[in-house]
Structure 1
Amino acid sequence: MDTLINIDNGGTLTDICVWDGTGFTFTKTLTTPHDLSECLFAGVEKASAALYGRADIERLLHTTQHIRYSTTQGTNALVERRGPMIGILTTMPDLAAAMRTTEAERDLFDGLVGDRVLVVDVAADEESTEFDVVQKVNRLATLGAARVVVAGGDPEQERRLRAVLLRTFPRHLLGSVPLIYSWDLAGDRSAPRRAWSCVINSFLHPTMERFLYGAERRLKSYKIVNPLLVYRNDGASSRVAKSVALKTYSSGPRGGLEGTAALARAHGFEHTLMIDVGGTTTDVGVVVGDHVAADERGTIRGVPISYPMSNVHSKGVGGSSVIAVEDGRITVGPQSVGAAPGPACFGFGGRQATITDVNLLLGVLDPDTYLDGTFRLDAERSRTVVTETVADALGISLEEALVRMEQAFFEALSSAFAHLVQENTTLAAFGGAGPMSATGAARPAGVKRVLVPRTAAVFSALGISFSDIGKTYEAGVPEPTTAATRTTYDELLGRAERDMFQEGYPLAACAASWQLVVEEEDGTPVSRGPYRPGDAVGHPERRVSLQLTITAPLPHPELTADQEVETRPASSVGSRSVRSAADRVDEVPVHVLTELSPGDTGAGPAIVEGPFFTARVLPGWTFRVTSGGDLLLHDTH
């Protein structure tokens, strides 16, 4: 049982990448928003057919050690505000104001919490406090709170509130309004960050819970022993029951970043920009050397949280982004047609134009080979929609509209990463729409080198292959002494031992990394360094905390390092008529990446068909197939 299945669930398509210890098998399927388990199992079934020559989902599942799953559903739920109303019960009168200091914070607070914040006076006597707590929890429920965050100024205040709530509310009543205690979720001393972490986690939890537990139950019908794992935004994986919903946010882009770091190692790149162009958004991240850039205290939708987050930002530009006319100019996104109804050429009733429709009509896409021939595109539907929504609106020909729409998409995509470009930057372009537009977006940003992985269509799913099972803990040390720090160390180690046992791994089989963090009063890290039990703290005037990362290693693939090989002209399988201007159509050679060998070279204009993706090589660009079978492109202008 050494097979690992990695799944990245996107808004339009779901990617499946299977690692069997020697190589990858991958496929794609349309996302089914009405029931996400449907596309999960459809994808696993398609992967089994690719592996065995016929569909045999049970055989594949029974040879699988773990399924690691990443999803955008939490991200989408927060963007669309699809989730429960949250209430806050706190001992801090100024907490709401401290959580609403910026426009982004005010916007999210008003949407998720609103006026559902009530303050308890813990200085009162026990009887008065008990009465006050009961009244205010009931009041929050009356105001519509479906989940309540309990935030005390210190752990002891929260313990007092917990004792009251457990004593005064019968479990069947308390369970109808779940409670989350801020110091339990995060050891961060900053009350606003800690409370925000709880609010967002509470909001995301129902969306993740319904699907993930449903998928886990369905897997058990196949008598699967090993559990479904959730891939997290810190680059590790854990069981559904042991995962924090907050850490699923933006987990797909973290997979892409881990894969980009592996590519950077294999190619020796110094500064790599990842652009993961999906159906709805483009995710952009930075890898310096082979190190993933991350923030010590992350942000979600501009709101600070207590956990580290990979430094990824998203822009509403993707293969399903709506291209329209507003005030006489062409706009791209952020609205998206998603998977349902999808681009017009999908034939599901879409009535808005997208870059997928544009590339089909330009001739870049072959209607019969989309998704490796498993899905046929309808050019007539695209022609109708582009004509009605763009060409007629601008009073121009369809041909001119297509060229201008493509250029608008290039510029919108370029603006997502241009500010991060350095002289030595390599652009790693993947996702379903990345290879198609990478050279067009790279040139206005000043990028001279683009890498399209041979697994570009499922690259974030492949990036999950570099994850282990792991947990991260943080706890503030009550006082900066050697004895107090050792006590905190023992407490964290006990938690880790219990958690990893529940993950199925003894602590002795895991790797542990300890950090002693010196902090400001509000919990902002000042410095950090390794910690061993018994070490002197050495910072009597500062607050300190301990951080523990515990990891149970899983098998990882090794990407092939690029080496110099003899070059030769790349063979083509034919040509395609591609429009390059309103009045010009070129016959462009078509190359099939899987039929090329390391060292094969070519020049634009050209099209390279990869597994489930189409790469466009514009004039002035050259390409070479690397030792690992990737596509490396250079701008010669």
Structure 2
Amino acid sequence: MSADAAPAGIRTGVDIGGTFTDLAAVDSTGIIAVRKVLTTTGEPARGMEQALLQSIGNLGVEGTRITQFVHGTTLITNALIERTGSVTALLTTAGFRDVLEMAREHRYELYDLMLEPPRPLVPRYLRFDVPERVLADGTVDLPLDRMHVQMLAHELVEHGVEAVAICFLHSFANPDHEQEAAAILKEAAPGLQVCISSDVAPEIREYERASTTVANVYVRELAARYLADLRDRTAAAGVGPAPQIMLSHGGLATVDTAARYPVRMLESGPAGGALAAAAFGAAAGWQDLLAFDMGGTTAKLCVVQEGVPLVTHAFEVDRRYRLRAGSGLPVKVPVIDMIEIGVGGGSLARTNALGLLAVGPESAGSAPGPACYGHGGERPTVTDADLLLGYLDPNYFLGGDMPLHPRAAATAVRRHVGEPLGLSIVDAAWGIHTLVNEDMANAARVHTCERGQDPAQLPLVAFGGAGPVHAAGVAAALRSGRVIVPPAAGVMSAVGFLTAPMAFDFARSAGGRLTDFRQADVEEIFTSMRCEGERLLVDASVDPMAMSHQRLADLRYAGQGSELRVPVPAAGRWPDDLVSAFQREYQRRYGRVGPDVPVEVLTWRVVVSGPRPHQPLTLRVTASPSAAQKGSRAAYFPAAGGFVDTPVFDRYQLEADFAVDGPALIEERESTVVVPPGAQCTASADGCLHLEWPAR
């Protein structure tokens, strides 16, 4: 595209993942540019800058044409997992310094004698008791010992502490002591990063609240430096507007807000993918679906219900066992509800202690990467197996910018899988491919059923670099009859960033039976949170007249140990309408009506949002039916007898009425869609590819 022909406004999203950094740019006509480059692990913002400069250079435009820049990153997650944050201390109510270690006093794997508990971010010698006590109703039982906090401040600085988390008992009911202690620390030691739980996570449950506050302050300095570097690099590229940051719940925030609450960025990349899946699914007429994102390091699955990805406030990071709840550090912030499986294109294949084939969760990452990258990797990965099966073109990986090496892949698969198991290279590669599909399908069954959905009834929206390669196999294992592959599937998280509104989530724990609350008191709680959200969005230049807010409550039957999140009606009979909404959600989730006992509330919530962008997300291409088929190559399909000559199509040349019966391969720059025998693939006007199977 020439500069003269370029559109006036370009919106750009960049997602930094564990293996690749993805970029997508859109204008009023749709998606005009995509880019995927290897993540620069030691300096992730540099890879972002490279992708940005290459993209605007290829478009022939200036950075000043960019009117919005949205960013998501794995930096915060990696810092928590790798323990590269600040030296952090924790101040707690006297007698509660060991909450982080005691956790829930629960063994997440009852019979594992070698069980590893989550490792706290703050060691015991940096956890300090503070004389003070606030009761559950917010009344002060013991005033804060201010002199004690002052003495601690000087001692912390002398011992090299860089950050302090303050989590006092029942501060969600009365934050005064936390605020006083924070003020004392900042006056006595201005260089300390200080976070208080009543600001970060003002919710009931002491362990989760302390863990979240610690995680936030632990990465705060790192996030501030990174976000400042990001702002400088985008400005140097000529980008006028300040970057906006994708949060884990699917909303955007300013750099300043993200720097204040970096823990809310933990799942920013996957959140973008779920939003994009919901948008493309709705355009195809599907309000309920399963988003399937398979990248270089992990695969993620998310249920989209009534056009919206489900959101949860129960999230764990750095799990000792990837799929075992309770084995990680709890973070009580809103995140799009998804399950993560440790299998991606770079996941390593091996034989385990029982002599069986296993794949993941260990990954080759971007350095050295899979053996076929030719960067020094010697162990086989999923990408190596897919290459040997003919699903990937060694000369068209990333559009030909990064040629692959089949011989290196064959050597790695033979040496580490084929010979130990007595299999040929092809059988070993097929074993890796199918094992990964079954692992993802098993996780999808559990995830969807726990949320009251039947995976066989949900279309699979597949994206990520490896998602379209494996989607048909996963769908077949789930007995689902449809796969949707959006355009620019290899960078779909970056595309999804551009569908998100400015938004922030607020919570206040004020528990009790609903019948004990006056409607006026509830309205006062909601109004306080809504006003706080509106101030944040006004600071982000959102028009107050364009803002909306959603009110929710965490409810349960009296005596239960967990709760359900339910929208709160704006008007009507109080509290009967809210009780009825809870009972409907309870029946939908569990298939039965609950017991005849009172309903109680734990936490009230408000989500304040700006307007959602409305523009087409079609991939702008010039279709040429005569150039649609690029050629053919041998690809492995056991249902067709093994290796068969398979037509290969250029996705950028497909017309809206394109249709082909499998087997077939459809290539785009960042990914390949595998159409197996027995499936039909059709293209829609928005650039999506639809794979369907005959009714089973």
* Greater Cα shift, 362-371 or 207-216: 207-216
How far apart are 1:183 and its partner, in Å? 0.5
> Structure 1: how far apart are the matches of 2:606 and 2:573?
15
Q: TM-score scaled to structure 1, two decimals?
A: 0.87
The equivalent residue for 1:529 is 568
C-alpha separation in 1, matches of 2:49 and 2:691:
36
1:517/1:528 contact within 8 Å kept: no
Kindly state the Cα deviation for residue 440 of structure 1 after the two structures are TM-superposed: 2.1
| Separation in 2, partners of 1:583, 1:189 | 59
- Residues of 2 paired with 1:283 and 1:117: CA distance? 35
Aligned mate of 2:230, from 185, 204, 215: 215
Show structure 1 runs of 5+ residues with no match. Answer: 561-567
**In the alignment, is the contact (CA less than 8 A) between 2:455 and 2:478 conserved in 1?**
no
Question: Does structure 2 conserve the Cα–Cα contact (< 8 Å) formed by 1:270 and 1:425?
Answer: no
* Cα distance change of structure 1 residues 262 and 493 upon mapping to structure 2, 3 Å threshold: closer
- Given that 2:132 and 2:144 are in contact with CA atoms closer than 8 Å, whether structure 1 keeps it comes out as no
The alpha-carbon distance between structure 1 residues 482 and 413, as it changes in their structure 2 partners (threshold 3 A), is: closer
Question: For residue 202 of structure 1, what is the aligned residue in structure 2?
Answer: 217
Structure 1 range deviating more: 102-111 or 307-316? 102-111
Residue 245 (structure 1) aligned with residue 257 (structure 2): no
What are structure 2's unaligned runs of at least 5 residues? 1-7, 110-114, 134-139, 320-324, 449-453, 579-597, 619-624
- State whether structure 2 residue 289 is matched by structure 1 residue 275: no
The offset of 1:335, in angstroms, is: 0.3
Q: Which residue of 1 aligns with 2:3?
A: none
- C-alpha distance in structure 2 between counterparts of 1:247 and 1:165, whole Å: 21
TM-score, L = length of structure 2: 0.80
Report how far residue 79 of structure 1 moved: 3.2
2:397 to 359, 367, 370: 370
Q: Which moved more, 1:429-438 or 1:400-409?
A: 400-409
Q: Work out which of the residue numbers 13, 38, 45 in structure 2 matches 1:30.
A: 38
Shift of 1:349: 0.9
Task: Give the count of matched residue pairs.
Answer: 621
Provide the C-alpha distance between the structure 2 equivalents of 1:332 and 1:494, rounded to a whole number of angstroms.
49
Which residue among 445, 448, 473 is the counterpart of 2:506? 473
SS in 2 for 1:286: strand
Asked whether the equivalents of residues 30 and 617 of structure 2 are also in contact (C-alpha less than 8 Å), the reply is no
Equivalent of 2:646, from 575, 588, 599?
588
Q: 1:229 to 1:108 in 2, by over 3 A?
A: farther
Could you tell me how far 1:232 is from its partner in structure 2?
Answer: 0.6
Measured in 1, the distance between the counterparts of 2:526 and 2:200 equals 18
1:48 aligns with 2:56: yes
Are 2:30 and 2:616, in contact at CA under 8 Å, matched by a contact in 1? Answer: no
1:186 to 175, 179, 201: 201
Contact 1:264 1:289 in 2 (8 A): no
Q: Which moved more, 1:91-100 or 1:367-376?
A: 91-100
Partner AA of 1:69 in structure 2: H
Q: 1:557 to 1:587 in 2, by over 3 A?
A: same
Q: Is structure 2 residue 27 aligned with structure 1 residue 14?
A: no
**What does residue range 374-385 of structure 1 map to in structure 2 within 5 Å?**
374-385=401-412
Whole-angstrom distance in 2 between the partners of 1:119 and 1:524: 31
Q: Which residue, 325, 346, 362 being the options, matches 2:373?
A: 346
Quote the Cα distance in structure 2 between the aligned partners of 1:108 and 1:140.
27
The answer (yes or no) to whether the contact 2:13–2:24 under 8 Å persists in 1 is yes
Say if 2:479 is the partner of 1:422.
Answer: no
Q: Measured at CA, do residues 159 and 410 of structure 1 come closer, stay the same or move farther in structure 2, by a change above 3 Å? A: same
Task: Answer yes or no: is the 8 Å Cα contact 1:253–1:460 preserved in 2.
Answer: yes
One-letter identity of the residue aligned with 2:436: F
Equivalent AA in structure 1 for residue 283 of structure 2: A
Q: Does 1:444 align with 2:477?
A: yes
Is 1:293 paired with 2:310?
A: yes
Which residue in the other structure is 1:323 paired with?
349
- Match of residue 615 from structure 1: 673
Give the secondary-structure state (helix, strand or coil) at the position aligned to 2:615: coil
Is the 8 Å Cα contact of residues 569 and 602 (structure 1) preserved in structure 2?
no
Which has the higher mean CA deviation after the structures are superposed, 314-323 or 362-371?
362-371
Aligned residues of 2:97 and 2:129 also touching (Cα < 8 A): no
The 1:224/1:593 distance shift into structure 2, 3 A limit, reads closer
Counterpart Cα distance in 2 of 1:67 and 1:559: 16
Whether the 8 Å CA contact 2:97–2:128 is kept in 1: the answer is no
CA, structure 1 residues 602+462, in 2 after alignment: closer, same or farther (shift >3 Å)? same
Is the 1:99–1:196 contact (alpha carbons within 8 Å) kept by the matching residues of 2? Answer: no
Corresponding residue for residue 614 of structure 2: 556
1:49 Cα shift? 3.3
Matched, 1:66 2:68: yes
1:320 positional shift: 0.3
* Residue of structure 2 equivalent to 1:99: 103
Residue by residue over 1:80-101, the C-alpha shift from the partner in whole angstroms, topping out at 9 and shown as x without a partner, is 3333344321126347446343
Query: 1:443 Cα shift?
Result: 1.8
Identity %: 26
Quick one: distance in 2 between partners of 1:490 and 1:586?
64
- Which stretch of structure 1 is more off in the superposition, 332-341 or 465-474? 465-474
SS at match of 1:591: strand
Q: Distance in 2 between matches of 1:320 and 1:414?
A: 19
2:4 aligns to what? none
Q: Is the 8 A contact 1:427 1:451 kept in 2?
A: yes
Are the equivalent residues in 2 in contact too, given 1:69–1:231 (CA < 8 A)? yes
1:602: how far off?
Answer: 1.6
| Aligned CA distance change for structure 1 residues 144 and 328 (closer, same or farther; 3 Å) | farther
Q: What's the counterpart of residue 167 of structure 2?
A: 151
CA distance in 1, matches of 2:166, 2:262: 17
Q: Report how far residue 228 of structure 1 moved.
A: 0.7
Give 1:621's aligned amino acid: A
Residue type of the partner of 1:114?
P
Residues 129-186 of structure 1: CA deviation (Å, up to 9, x unaligned): 234334445666678754221112244865335435534x574x62443221111122
- Per-residue CA deviation, residues 328-361 of structure 1 (Å, 9 max, x unaligned), is 2221100000111111111111111112112222
Partner Cα distance (1:395, 1:518) in 2: 56
Aligned partner (choices 95, 99, 114) of residue 123 of structure 2? 114
Q: Residue deviations 1:16-73, cap 9 Å, x none?
A: 1111122112121111111111111111122213423xxx5xx1x2122221111122
Secondary structure of 2:225's match? helix
Aligned partner of residue 573 in structure 1, secondary structure: strand
Distance (Å, rounded) in 1 between the aligned partners of 2:424 and 2:455: 39
AA in 1 matched with 2:245: V
Cα RMSD over matched residues? 3.6
SS at match of 1:390: helix
Residues in 2 aligned to 1:409 and 1:518: alpha-carbon distance in whole angstroms: 38
- Cα gap change, 1:586 to 1:349, in 2 (>3 Å): same
Q: Which moved more, 1:131-140 or 1:83-92?
A: 131-140
Moved more, 421-430 or 273-282: 421-430
Q: 1:355 aligns to what? A: 382
- Counterpart amino acid of residue 364 in structure 1: Y
Inter-partner Cα distance in structure 2 for 1:541 and 1:416:
32
Matched residue, 2:82? 80
Alpha carbons of 1:299 and 1:390: their partners in 2 closer, same or farther (altered >3 Å)?
closer
Task: Summarize the Cα distance change of 1:10–1:278 in structure 2 as closer, same or farther, 3 Å threshold.
Answer: same
Which residue is 1:510 aligned to? 547
Distance verdict in 2 for CA 1:190–1:583, change over 3 Å: closer
When residues 296 and 346 of structure 1 are mapped into structure 2, their CA distance, relative to the original with a 3 A threshold, is closer
Q: What displacement does 1:543 show?
A: 6.6
- Residue 311 of structure 1 corresponds to which residue in structure 2? 337
Q: CA deviation at 1:236?
A: 0.9
